[in-house]
Structures are given as C-alpha cells and as structure tokens.
Amino acid sequence: MSYQPPQHLLEVLQKIQYEEALPAGDPRYVETQTARGSERTFSRLAKKIGWDPASNQFFPPSQSHVLFFGHVGSGKTTELRQYAQRLNDSKRFCVVEVDAVDKLDVNNLQYTDALMAMAETLVKYLNQSGYRIDEADLAPLHQAVARVVTTRIDGREVSAELKTTAEAGASLLGLFKLLATFTAAAKTNASNKTEWRREVSNHFTALAGAFNHLIRQAEAALHKAGRAERLVFLLDGIDKLRGDDTQRFFVQDAEQLLSIQAFVIYTAPLHLKYGGQLAGKLDADLVLPMIKLQERDGSRCEAGWTALRDLLLRRIARKLFASDAEITRLVEHSGGHPRELLRLLKLCCEYADDLIDAATVERALSQLAADYRYFLEPDDYTLLVQLDHNEIHAGNDERTRQLLYRLALLQYNDGSWRRSHPVVRRLEGYQRALRDAPPVAP
Amino acid sequence: MNAPAPTFDAEQARLAAAAHLQPAHFVEFQRLAKSLIHGPQFQLLIVDCRDERLRAKVLLALAQVQQQAGLRGVELALNDDLSNVQALEARLVDLAAEHQVIHLLDASIWMDATRWESFNLLRERLSASVRARLVIWLNEVSIAQVARYSPDIWAWRSGVYPFPQKIIFGNSPGIFSSGLGIIQNGLISSIAFFGGDEINFQKHVGRSVEISDWLNRPHVPNEIRVPLVEELNDLLSGLHDIVSHGQGGAIPNEFYPVIKECLIRALKGVEMLKWMVMRDHIFPNECSENIVLELRLLDQLFRGHGGS
C-alpha cells in the first residue's frame, strides 16, 4: 500500500518528532540535492574516498578523514544515510555506521572511545554477517584490547568472565565482548573509564596498528565475498559534542584520529568550520547546504520550493490546508530549513481546529518569530541587516557564529552567501535596525 | 478520517479547563494542552510564566486535562535537594518510569549558565531514557539562557508558551473607560444593597471602587494602569473568597449566592477588560461589541439586585 500522510491535524501533531532522523527508505524522505545546490556534495564526498560515481572509476587513497558540516537540524544524518545507501549499492564500499550518541557518552567523548566503538561496530558487523577472519589476524587487536580491559584498578579483581574471554583464543565474538566492555564503561561513565582510557592512550600506537590490520583483513574478506572493496566508517553524532570536547576531538587529537588508516566520515558542527582552528589536519570542506528558496541574486529557486512543499506534504495531507497559499507561506518562512518548516507546521496544528487557514499561518509565523525574540540582542539585529545587504562574505566573528548556530542566520551554497531567517525579519528589532541602516551604495 | 479515538474526552477537558483561566491565556493554554495530549511521548515544552499564582492556576487546569487524557503528571521543584544536573537527570529517569508529564518548576532560580550547559549535554540521553513530556517553567530571562547555553535543547524545543501577566493596553480608551464605569456602578450598588457590615468586605469593596475611579481618569499612563487593574482583579478575587467561605458578617445567608454571582460577573468584567485590550493589541480593527454587551449585562445584574 502506498504511503499516506496523516489525514488529521492531531495525527500530524503526534508524529512531529524533532529528535528523529529519517532512516534510508523512509517514505517521508524527499530528495533535496538539487534544492540545496548540493548535487555535487555526494560526488565530492565519494571522490574523497576514491570513487567517481559518474564514471565508476575507483582509485582509493590509503585513508581519508572527512568532516561533514551542517546547520543544527538541517538533515545531516538523514542525508548521510542516503549517501551510505548509495555507497553500499556501489559495491565499492561497505559503510559501517557508528552512532556515537547511542554507543558512547557524547558529553565526554575522546578519540580513545571513538576508536573502540568503531572497532566494536566493525567486529559485530563481521560476526553477524558471517565473515571469517583468521585467529592470527584477530590476535593483535584481541591482545591489545584484553590488556586494556583487564587492567586492575585500585587492586580490584577483574571479573572471571572477562578474564576467561581475555585469555581465550581470539575470535570475533570474544573480541566483540572485550570491545563492548570498554564502550559500555565509556557510555555509563564507569569508574574504570579514566584508567582504561589512559591504557589505550599509553599503548595507542600498538592498538591503532592492530585495528588497522583488522581493517585490512576485513576489507579482504569483503572483497573476496564480492560485497565491497573498502570499509567506510560513518561516525554520526560527533557534531553533538560540547564545545571543549569538540576542540579536543577534532583539533588536539586530530593526529590520533588520522592514525586510523581508513575512510572515516564525521558529522561536525558548523561553528567548528568557521572557528579557524582546524588548520588542514582533517578534510574539512564539505558542508551540507540549506535548501535554497532563492538564488543569491534573488531569483526564485524552483527546486527548493518543490522539495520543501513535497517535504511538507509527506507530513500532512493537502486537504488540511485551506489553499495552496498557506503552504507557500509556510515554505517561504522556513528559510529552507526542514526542522523550521516542521516547527511551523506544529504551530499550525496547535492553533488550528480542523483546517490550516491564512490566520493560522499568520499566528504560527508570529509565534516562531517570538521564539527568536527571546535571545536576539540589539546588536544582533544590526548585524543581520548588515549581512542581508552585503553581498560580500566578509568573514565570521563570534556574534555571526552564534547567529548561525541558533539559526537566526542561515547560509546557502556551502556557505558562500547568507540570509537572516525570514521570521526574524518580521521582528520590530530587525525592522528598526533596517530603518536605521545606512543606505546601500548602488 | 476522524480524529484519533481517545481524543474526545480529552478535548472536552481541554476546553473546560481553559474556561477557568483569564481569556488572555486561553490560546496559549489550549496550545500547550493540545501538545501535551496529542504530541509525541517525548517533548521539551518551555513555558514562559514568571507569576507564581498564575503558574499555579495553569498547573491546576493542566492537571484536569492530563487526568482526562490518562496522562500521569508530576511536579518537580528544582531546589537544593538536587545537587547538580546529574542528580536532576537521575530524578527525571525515576519519575518518567511512572509519569508521562513532568513539570519542572523553579528552573529559573536553580539553573545557571553552567547548569544549562550541563543540561544541554543530556539531550540525547533524555530522549532515550526520559520518555515523557518535560514541561519546563521559566521566565523570559532564563529562556534566553536556554537558547544561549543549551542550544541543543533549544533546537529540540517542542514549543514556547508565553503566559504574560503584564497587560498590554490597546487603542480603545473609550470602551475601556465605559467598561470600568459599569463595574464601578455595580460595586457601589453591591455596597448599597448588602450594607457592607463586614469590615473586610467593606474595605475590599471600598478599595475596588477607589481603584476603578483612578483607572477611569483621563490621561493615566499605562504603566500606572497595569498594576491597578491587577490589584482590582486581586481584590475582586479576595471578595469572592470571603463570600465563598461565608465570612460576610451580617450578610443574610440567602444573599450569598447572589453576591457570589455578582462578584463572578465583576471578575469577568475585569478579565474582559484585559482581554479587550489584548485583542486590540493583536487585532487593532477588532473591537468586539460583545464585550460591551457583557459589561452592560453585569451592570444590569448589579442594578437588579442593588437598585442604585
């Protein structure tokens, strides 16, 4: 049976969940590449790991660590899942998705935890998919991890089960148990977490080497089975690290990340890109752009309008709108941000009884604008007006970064141009700043 | 297609509960209640309400709605019993096992920038382990702090629901003035009719009339009017309490229902004044004749019983 969007406003309301990223194949997913101006984003990503989707040429580098930036809620995870599907379908790659939020403690995450989580997810995948890796090839990593998790802390004895697993011959299942012991401690903030991390850190070169060896063996097994030639780790949720942890993970510990000889894609917060501290250690030029409703010169971007309209109408039946004008107005005021469009839709569902009409939409727009009023300062409005009327991207300061982070300022086409959020332009603070702004030179 | 099945009773409760609130708060209450009842299991709802008495009223009204919708609610006051945000998280996990709605009170006081930052880091864990509607009661300043120090929580907010206590005066001084005149007449009538034997009753009515007189003067700045209307509202509520508890002194018992009725009408009149100015603010062209009509009915009621 074909997919039907919710037919009642209360059902629409019930199904709007901001924390939900759409899995590949979800009927609510809308293709947005043309609308974002990101047709080349997937192609660029694929080329960074050696594959040209157009010609199917494949010359993989030894490793590649790619950061994938985007606005909060702009659809990074949803988009990456689509990319993962395409990479998997190519038979060139096998994508191993590591959900940092689910597997680790993103409130206190270090490269050591990420490494172990990547290893655990890979071993689990190999085991569940029935791949065989020789004991000799598993042994180096098995021994290295066993040494970490059997470290006696404060004189406490290691559990008998863990000891047995550590001392047994190397197997995928045994290795998985050892790795899972570590990641569980990292996730639950167990008392031994710090000591174990120190152990990983002290023996990192050996551990990374053992992991790299396993990766090569896994790739050989995948290749032999005709499944793929290279592994790609998709480390999702890293964009949710706290400020200090983000800096430590991507800046201070970049060398450790780069010692993993694999293809790794990390989701990353947009403000990191413009903080100016990445300094070329990691590949940091991929941004998931916003869906465009207009081009830089102000002309209408039809693909953007179509995509957002489709996106909306997969969340709500068309008959629940009084006319197309209401749909248009909601799309227009979303600024091209999918979550903001859903937020407006939710507001409409809260205000309307059974039909979304012009008055309902107007109230929803005012309410969303009022949300921004809570945190915008007078100087923010001045800056927004200035940015809206200045064609030249003159760089980012802390105030601009904060506006980007809180979506008062949206950027398009890989950040080459920016506009204030359309609902913010409704606020009296913005209007006043606009009146007070010096005239723009012709 | 019809609305999902369990909604009818809950919808009735939502409308009934809203009737006990000031008209100015109808819309926000309806929005909030709708999201609580019909929104997903996990939600972060932010309520902007700085006035404790108003908060208590809204909580009471929400409790009725929650009960009717089969949602178990609980209030968690943030205070020194909770040493840090981790303790708060543990408490929330415990409460979510038994409750579908958790109201977080006094967060504006308990939370500071550091705690908001820590709370921000809980977002993913909260969504996984606290599958409940979290209603966070804040004031305007602390909402700005959420956006600044808990940007991820802010990004997942299910809604912000303002319950302003401050009245915004509109552009209809004529209607406002005539409305006050009607209320004042009613109050004077009630003194004449009931005699005002009981000291509190008389004092309350006297002050109410005095305020009405002040409010009715021309060219009174809005900044002065606002607290006076609030006080008038409080006084009328106090009078209603006195009568409800049978403390009207020498007032004959059989008159209590009538007095109560009068006071309810008078309160309604004040609330309608507020509503009127609010509506004028939102819809400048809409000055409802119904409001004036209602105030005239109130006057007639007073005159009918008091015969001034």
* Model pLDDT for residues A69-107, shown as the tens digit of each residue: 887 777 888 889 989 999 999 999 999 999 888 888 877
- Interface with A, mutate which of B2, B28, B32, B34 (most A CBs under 10 A): B34
- Interface with B, mutate which of A4, A15, A18 (most B CBs under 10 A): A18
Residue A242 and residue B120: Cβ atoms within 8 Å? yes
Closest CB from A18, A237, A375 relative to B148: A375
Please indicate whether residue B119 or residue A327 has the higher confidence score (pLDDT).
A327
Closest CB from B4, B123, B155 relative to A11: B4
CB A149 within 8 A of CB A178: yes
Give mean pLDDT, residues B131-155.
Answer: 93
Per cent of chain B over pLDDT 70 is 54
Q: Which residues pair with B159 in a beta bridge?
A: B45
Give mean pLDDT, residues B151-177.
Answer: 71
pLDDT at B293 over 50: no
What average pLDDT does the structure give for chain B?
Answer: 73
Please indicate whether residue A55 or residue A210 has the higher confidence score (pLDDT).
A210
pLDDT in tens, A150-209: 876 666 677 777 788 888 888 999 999 999 988 888 777 667 888 888 888 889 999 999
pLDDT at B98 over 90: yes
DSSP one-letter string for A131-146? ----HHHHHHHHHHHH
CB B305 within 8 A of CB B262: yes
Residue B147 and residue A406: Cβ atoms within 8 Å? yes
CB A288 within 8 A of CB A74: yes
Q: What is the DSSP letter of A248?
A: I
Residues of A with Cβ-Cβ distance to B27 under 8 angstroms: 351
pLDDT value for A257: 92
The amino acid that residue A85 corresponds to is: Q
Confidence of residue B280 (pLDDT cuts 50, 70, 90): very low
Confidence of residue B251 (pLDDT cuts 50, 70, 90): low
Q: Does B120 touch chain A (CB under 8 A)?
A: yes
What average pLDDT does the structure give for chain A?
Answer: 88
Could you give the CA distance from residue A68 to residue A220 in angstroms, rounded to a whole number? 27
Q: Does B249 touch chain A (CB under 8 A)?
A: no
Residue B4 and residue A240: Cβ atoms within 8 Å? no
User: In chain A, what are the domain boundaries?
Assistant: 39-287, 378-436
pLDDT at B195 over 60: no
Confidence of residue B174 (pLDDT cuts 50, 70, 90): low
Residue B124 and residue A240: Cβ atoms within 8 Å? yes
Q: Which residue of A has its CA nearest to B119?
A: A107
pLDDT value for B247: 57
Residues of B with Cβ-Cβ distance to A374 under 8 angstroms: 140, 143-144, 147, 160
* CA-based nearest residue to B50, from B88, B103, B102, B105: B105
pLDDT at B175 over 70: no
- The nearest CA of chain A is from the CA of B119 a distance in Å of 10
ipTM of this complex: 0.77
pLDDT value for B167: 46
Closest CB from B125, B151, B156 relative to A18: B156
Going from the C-alpha of A97 to that of each of A238, A274, B230, the distances in angstroms are: 12, 26, 58
* CA-based nearest residue to A211, from A87, A96, A103: A96
**Which has the minimum average pLDDT: A127-141, A291-305, A312-326, A332-346?**
A291-305
> β-pairing, A409-412 with A417-420?
antiparallel
Confidence of residue B90 (pLDDT cuts 50, 70, 90): very high
* CA-based nearest residue to A360, from B31, B47, B49, B3: B31
Q: Does A17 touch chain B (CB under 8 A)?
A: yes
pLDDT value for A345: 97
pLDDT value for B226: 62
Give mean pLDDT, residues A293-320.
Answer: 93
> Starting at the edge strand that comes first in sequence, how are the strands of the sheet with A93-99 ordered?
A93-99, A230-236, A263-269, A64-70, A283-288
Q: Does A107 touch chain B (CB under 8 A)?
A: yes
pLDDT in tens, A51-67: 999 888 888 888 899 99
Give mean pLDDT, residues B102-113.
Answer: 94
Q: Does B151 touch chain A (CB under 8 A)?
A: yes
Residues of A with Cβ-Cβ distance to B155 under 8 angstroms: 18, 72-73, 339, 407
Give mean pLDDT, residues A220-246.
Answer: 90
The tally of CA atoms less than 13 A away on the side-chain side of residue B190 is: 34
- The nearest CA of chain A is from the CA of B161 a distance in Å of 9
pLDDT in tens, B221-239: 555 566 667 677 777 777 6
- The nearest CA of chain B is from the CA of A344 a distance in Å of 10
CB atoms under 10 Å from CB of B213, counted, come to 12
Token output for A277:
């501290």
CB B54 within 8 A of CB B165: yes
pLDDT at A393 over 50: yes
Longest dimension (CA), chain B: 66
pLDDT value for B76: 96
Q: Does B162 touch chain A (CB under 8 A)?
A: yes
Please indicate whether residue B174 or residue A226 has the higher confidence score (pLDDT).
A226
Closest CB from A17, A101, A350 relative to B40: A17
Write out chain B in H/E/C secondary structure: CCCCCCHHHHHHHHHHHHCCCCHHHHHHHHHHHHHHHHCCCCEEEEEECCCHHHHHHHHHHHHHHHHHCCCCEEEEECCCCCCCHHHHHHHHHHHHCCCCEEEEECHHHHCCHHHHHHHHCCHHHHHHHCCCEEEEEECHHHHHHHHHHCHHHHHCCCEEEECCCCCCCCCCHHHHHHHHHHHHHHHHHHHHHHCCCCHHHHHHHHHHHHHHHHHCCCCCCHHHHHHHHHHHHHHHHHHHHHHHCCCCCCCCHHHHHHHHHHHHHHHHHHHHHHHHHHHHHHCCCCCCHHHHHHHHHHHHHHHHHHCC
Cα dihedral sign for A376, A378, A380, A384?
positive
pLDDT at A262 over 60: yes
Residue B148 and residue A14: Cβ atoms within 8 Å? no
Q: Does A13 touch chain B (CB under 8 A)?
A: yes
Closest CB from A73, A101, A350 relative to B124: A101
- Interface with A, mutate which of B35, B46, B129, B142 (most A CBs under 10 A): B35
**Residue A398: is it exposed, middle or buried by C-beta count within 10 angstroms (0-12/13-18/19+)?**
exposed
Give mean pLDDT, residues B18-37.
Answer: 84
CB atoms under 10 Å from CB of A156, counted, come to 9
pLDDT value for A373: 93
Please indicate whether residue A316 or residue B7 has the higher confidence score (pLDDT).
A316
pLDDT in tens, B29-74: 999 999 999 999 999 999 999 888 889 989 999 998 999 899 999 9
pLDDT value for B179: 57
Going from the C-alpha of A128 to that of each of A94, A124, A131, A169, B169, the distances in angstroms are: 14, 6, 8, 19, 68
pLDDT at A441 over 80: no
CB atoms under 10 Å from CB of A55, counted, come to 7
Q: What is the DSSP letter of A394?
A: -
CB A121 within 8 A of CB A103: yes
Give mean pLDDT, residues A353-372.
Answer: 94
Q: Is residue A232 helix, strand or coil?
A: strand
Residues of A with Cβ-Cβ distance to B157 under 8 angstroms: 371
DSSP one-letter string for A259-319? TS-SEEEEEEEHHHHTSS--TTSSEEEEEEPPPPSB-TTS-B-HHHHHHHHHHHHTTS-GG
- The nearest CA of chain A is from the CA of B174 a distance in Å of 28
From its phi and psi, is residue B301 left (phi > 0), alpha (psi between -120 and 50) or beta? alpha
pLDDT value for A107: 74
Closest CB from B3, B144, B151 relative to A374: B144
